[in-house]
Structure 1
Amino acid sequence: MTVTYSSKVANATFFGFHRLLLRWRGSIYKLLYREFVAFVSLYAALSIVYRLILAENEKRYFEKVSLYCDKYAEQIPVTFVLGFYVTLVVNRWWNQFGNLPWPDRLMFLISSVVHGKDERGRLLRRTLMRYVNLTSLIILRSISRAVHKRFPTMDHVVEAGFMTSDERTIYENLKSPHLKYWVPFIWFGNLAAKTRKEGRIRDGIELQLLMNEMNRYRSRCAILFGYDWVGIPLVYTQVVTLAVYTFFFACLIGRQFLDPTQGYPEHELDLYVPVFTLLQFFFYAGWLKVAEQLINPFGEDDDDFEINWCIDRNLQVSLMAVDEMYMNLPKVQKDIYWNDSDLRPPYTAAAADYCIPSFLGSAADKTPMSKIRIRLYCDSPLSRPPHFEEHPSIRCLSSQMKTSHLVL
């Protein structure tokens, strides 16, 4: 659902954003086209009635109403209320993304402090990690419609492997009117304490680190639940929505092109199509649509968070980290810079332009580029830029090595 376009705007180019304007998925056109068609249709209908159906005396009355609506519509503070509202919604949206529960810190810690390569050690690490993922699933299932569609009942949670049948029985036998997302955390704490007694967590400091990290993870889950519970006050949303819709309802009448022969101020032309009013509708109503899409990022809109992907990723990565990768280390070897203190990782020829001198302060002497030592991959499949081919001072010091020092 998330629409990613970072690669399209990696570099600033001439009219660089124009390529984004033609995309449909996640676009303002997809969000707004129904309202836009409705506004244009109502405007055209009123224009036809004014021009072809009303009698002359009725036209004069309509023109007075139109001038009145045009005069006072500008007093509605649409820009003011929309600006504050959208800023609030975007900040709230980004804070929710920043509090998505990622188990990476816990999986690093569990893999480090819960010891034992035997079956018991493996079982303890995987179970602790599964409780962590189960908690986030219970929270996300309660706030995300997409996740709830995937796991509509606890049967689906058990079938997916987040919970065993025995755990489900214990979970459902706990009578509480509140969401029981905290239950797996209690299991986590009790199992961690038991692991400490077994000596697989070697001291109290490691246990404390583990519990502190678990509490940090729990806080993120609770924050997401709080965001879902306490939204932006309804009155604020109502004020913004009414301000936008009232303004454009007034524009339907006030922005009509009136008979130029009547000599009304600013009505010397009859262009039929109110281009700038339509643009104003596109910008203001589109602004409101931005807030409408971002106010709850756990829905099913194009730009909502990919929560189901997060669930899949977190479970797979965390179980691999505490099980398959436990004490699975590569051979420790000397690095290629073992005897070189003045090291510089190599550049491909295509990336050589990015080799710049170190910043030593704005008042320091500038090191000329001709004094910089650049290390290139001699066998790079990338072609050299033109200035490398033409520069007479570039030379490969050792054609037998895969990398060599080049001096500019």
Structure 2
Amino acid sequence: MTVSYQAQVATSNFNCFLKLLARWRGSIYKIIWKDLAAFLILYYSLSIMYRFVMGPNQQRLFELLVHYCHSSSTLIPLSFVLGFYIAVVMQRWWTQYITVPWPDPLAVYVSTLFVGQDERGRIMRRTVMRYVCLCLTMIFTMVAPSVKKRFPTMDSLVDAGLLTENEKDVLIAMDEKSPKHRKHWVPLVWAASIVSRARKEGRIRDDVALKTIFDQLDTFRNKCAVILHFDSVPIPLVYTQVVTLAVYSYFLAALIGQQWVPKEVDPDGHYDWVDYYLPIFTTLQFFFYMGWLKVAESLLNPSAMTMMTLK
């Protein structure tokens, strides 16, 4: 989940960034601690078995396996594959966020360009914006589970005041005739019809104002369509599978390849005279690579992530 922290880094004081590193909510520690705990448990289990359980012949075989896994782990281009994948996912998520069709600009134009303070003019302005909010709600119910839970049926939209009974009947009849096609655009057609009627009644001063409102409606509709496209056209599954397999296979190899064995076993190998007990740099690698992967998994569905951000 996106967590705001700008207020904590208002200055470039080093203590501010130390406080950020210690935060738990929305942190890398919260997202990978279970995976890190499982990795370290398996790592120390193999280490204990090598030191205290295995016999000399078994230790020798294990040492050869350590050397093989360590030398072969460099064959996985993890940094390149994972870095490019993260870039694609982050760009997709940010594009999704900035494409959210906020109704505020359209509300400003409707309030400004519609003239007349009588009851009919007020109802026309409110109805146009109700249709816009209805369209936005219908879009979010298609892409965000939290909104779908809030508005599971047409009746819930009626109860919320976004839809009338007659309008609900029209949408249901259209859905029965063409059930495979989405109907989110229908409220915008209704809104455009009200805008055209307002121009004929003189409630919109000129054609320039009329075109401005129509342009805003069209921009709103285009953004709604883009959100649906993001939801229906995901990142290719094969790419996600390749990255996930690369990360997990790398750390499965690291479970063995980063084990400590005595220097005398292979003087030309990667082994050290000092037994550090804790795999410091392997743990840091786990933080970086697994953290990247978990961020990508969280942002893989930009529609759901955007709604989490807006909550």
* Shift >3 Å, 4+ stretches: none
Q: C-alpha separation between the residues in 1 aligned to 2:98 and 2:187?
A: 23
Cα RMSD between the aligned structures?
Answer: 1.7
Whether contact under 8 Å (1:144, 1:298) holds in the other structure is: yes
**Which one of the candidate residues 295, 304, 307 is aligned to 1:299?**
304
Q: C-alpha separation between the residues in 1 aligned to 2:24 and 2:257?
A: 32
User: Offset at 1:261?
Assistant: 4.1
What is residue 159 of structure 1 aligned with on the other side? 159
SS in 2 for 1:74: helix
Give the total of aligned pairs.
Answer: 306
Higher helix share: 2
User: Offset at 1:199?
Assistant: 1.9
Give matches, 1:204-215, under 5 Å. 204-215=207-218
What is residue 101 of structure 1 aligned with on the other side? 101
Give matches, 1:358-397, under 5 Å. none
What is residue 255 of structure 1 aligned with on the other side? 258
Pair 262,2 (structure 1): closer, same or farther in 2 beyond 3 Å: closer
Q: C-alpha separation between the residues in 1 aligned to 2:213 and 2:6?
A: 36
**Which one of the candidate residues 235, 238, 258 is aligned to 2:238?**
235
- Does residue 1:178 correspond to 2:168, yes or no? no
- Cα deviation 1:320-343 (Å, max 9, x = unaligned): xxxxxxxxxxxxxxxxxxxxxxxx
User: Offset at 1:300?
Assistant: 6.5
SS in 1 for 2:13: coil
- Cα deviation 1:287-311 (Å, max 9, x = unaligned): 111111122243379x9321xx5xx
What is residue 63 of structure 1 aligned with on the other side? 63
User: Offset at 1:234?
Assistant: 1.1
User: Offset at 1:77?
Assistant: 0.7
Q: C-alpha separation between the residues in 1 aligned to 2:266 and 2:91?
A: 49
What is residue 32 of structure 2 aligned with on the other side? 32
- Does residue 1:277 correspond to 2:282, yes or no? yes
Q: C-alpha separation between the residues in 1 aligned to 2:265 and 2:94?
A: 53
- Cα deviation 1:120-140 (Å, max 9, x = unaligned): 111000000111111111111
Q: C-alpha separation between the residues in 2 aligned to 1:262 and 1:202?
A: 89
What is residue 130 of structure 1 aligned with on the other side? 130
**Which one of the candidate residues 198, 203, 209 is aligned to 1:200?**
203
What is residue 190 of structure 2 aligned with on the other side? 187
User: Offset at 1:62?
Assistant: 1.0
What is residue 150 of structure 2 aligned with on the other side? 150
Give matches, 1:72-87, under 5 Å. 72-87=72-87
Q: C-alpha separation between the residues in 2 aligned to 1:304 and 1:291?
A: 15
User: Offset at 1:110?
Assistant: 0.7
Q: C-alpha separation between the residues in 2 aligned to 1:23 and 1:149?
A: 31
Q: C-alpha separation between the residues in 1 aligned to 2:147 and 2:281?
A: 42
Q: C-alpha separation between the residues in 2 aligned to 1:102 and 1:188?
A: 16
User: Offset at 1:15?
Assistant: 4.1
Superposition TM-score, scaled by structure 1 size:
0.72
Question: Bigger CA drift: 51-60 or 241-250?
Answer: 51-60
Q: C-alpha separation between the residues in 1 aligned to 2:220 and 2:98?
A: 12
Q: C-alpha separation between the residues in 2 aligned to 1:9 and 1:46?
A: 42
- Does residue 1:219 correspond to 2:222, yes or no? yes
What is residue 391 of structure 1 aligned with on the other side? none
Q: C-alpha separation between the residues in 2 aligned to 1:85 and 1:240?
A: 7
What is residue 290 of structure 1 aligned with on the other side? 295
User: Offset at 1:145?
Assistant: 1.5
Give matches, 1:315-334, under 5 Å. none
User: Offset at 1:27?
Assistant: 1.0
The answer to which structure, 1 or 2, has the higher relative contact order (CA under 8 A, 6+ apart) is 2
Q: C-alpha separation between the residues in 2 aligned to 1:45 and 1:26?
A: 30
Whether contact under 8 Å (1:260, 1:270) holds in the other structure is: no
Q: Identity across aligned pairs (percent)? A: 47
Pair 223,19 (structure 1): closer, same or farther in 2 beyond 3 Å: same
- Cα deviation 1:133-187 (Å, max 9, x = unaligned): 1111111111111211221222221111111121111111103212211111111
What is residue 266 of structure 1 aligned with on the other side? 270
Pair 2,261 (structure 1): closer, same or farther in 2 beyond 3 Å: closer
Q: C-alpha separation between the residues in 1 aligned to 2:193 and 2:296?
A: 43
Whether contact under 8 Å (2:227, 2:303) holds in the other structure is: no
Q: C-alpha separation between the residues in 1 aligned to 2:244 and 2:40?
A: 19
Q: C-alpha separation between the residues in 1 aligned to 2:37 and 2:302?
A: 26
| Paired letter, 1:115 | V
User: Offset at 1:96?
Assistant: 0.9
Whether contact under 8 Å (1:145, 1:298) holds in the other structure is: no
Larger radius of gyration: 1
Whether contact under 8 Å (2:110, 2:213) holds in the other structure is: yes
